[in-house]
Amino acid sequence: MTSTEIKEDKNADNNENNYSMPDVNALGFADLKECLSKGISDFRQAPMFGFFFGGIFAFGGILIVQSFYVWDKGWLIYPMLVGFPLVGPFAAVGLYDVSRRLGEGKPLRWNEVLTVVSLQTSRQLPYMAFAMLFIFWIWMYQIRLLIAIILGRMSFSSWESFFNIIMTTPEGWTFIILGHIVGACFALLMFSVTVVSIPIILDREIDFVTAMITSVKTVKKSPFVMICWGVFVALSVITSFIPLFLGLLVVLPVLGHTSWHIYKKAVI
């Protein structure tokens, strides 16, 4: 065998190892509690990084809500706020790197953290982002479809009239029930494919399809525990919207750091 053939065999072996399917561990509520404690600790050690990345997410939320008012589409605010937390894992990439550096005892430097985040644009993260945004877009489209089917004959030109219709008419309650059922299905799908996929893409040389499959395997391994975690994340983020999204300055960093530790504990 020539040296070139040996080199090609080694490269093939490396690629096979890099893209092999990771194994996953089962998690319990004690593991979630431990990971949450570590997430809070990471935030306390690097609060300025948390405020920075949380602030970007909060600003995005404010901008979206304001744009709906400007375009006179206030009735879309509620489904947008419900779906908005689904893109949280993508916004937390920088927080994952901060937790990784803290765990490895590396110094935290702004230029290095931001460089790592920017380098993800040339890896698998853009494909993952496209998959997430595609699911989110389908979620918003389904809401508009339900509005057309159920409330199509009714007129609402503002958030107030829309709220009055859905709360005081049979069609409105039908829309609420079906909308939440559809939303729960999309939320479960998004959560399942992202709960550990983005941390693993950041941490390893792995393709986004393998990352999503590994994420789904993690949920299937501990379905009740992971779904409870997903509900906790959603409720925490939605609650943080109340004071003009400012709660995200703390909630997003803590959840982001915690998600990193869940990944490290769940994926072998």
pLDDT of residue 254: 95
Residue 258: which domain range? 28-266
Average pLDDT rounded to a whole number, residues 205-221: 92
84 pLDDT band, cuts 50/70/90, is low
Share in percent of the chain as helix, strand, coil (round to 5): 80, 0, 20
14 inside domain: no
pLDDT of residue 156: 65
Question: In the predicted model, is pLDDT for residue 8 greater than 80?
Answer: no
12 pLDDT band, cuts 50/70/90, is very low
pLDDT of residue 98: 95
Q: What is the mean pLDDT of the chain?
A: 81
1 inside domain: no
pLDDT of residue 91: 67
pLDDT of residue 155: 62
pLDDT of residue 176: 85
16 inside domain: no
In this structure, what are the phi and psi dihedrals at residue 24, rounded to the nearest 5 degrees?
A: -130, 150
Question: In the predicted model, is pLDDT for residue 169 greater than 60?
Answer: yes
Nearest Cα residue to 83 out of 214, 199, 166, 194: 194
Domain count, the chain: 1
Rg over alpha carbons for the chain, rounded to the nearest Å, is 21
Whether residue 255 contacts residue 9, with contact meaning beta carbons closer than 8 Å, is answered with no
5 inside domain: no
The reported pTM is 0.78
173 inside domain: yes
17 inside domain: no
Average pLDDT rounded to a whole number, residues 80-95: 66
4 inside domain: no
7 pLDDT band, cuts 50/70/90, is very low
186 inside domain: yes
Question: In the predicted model, is pLDDT for residue 70 greater than 70?
Answer: no
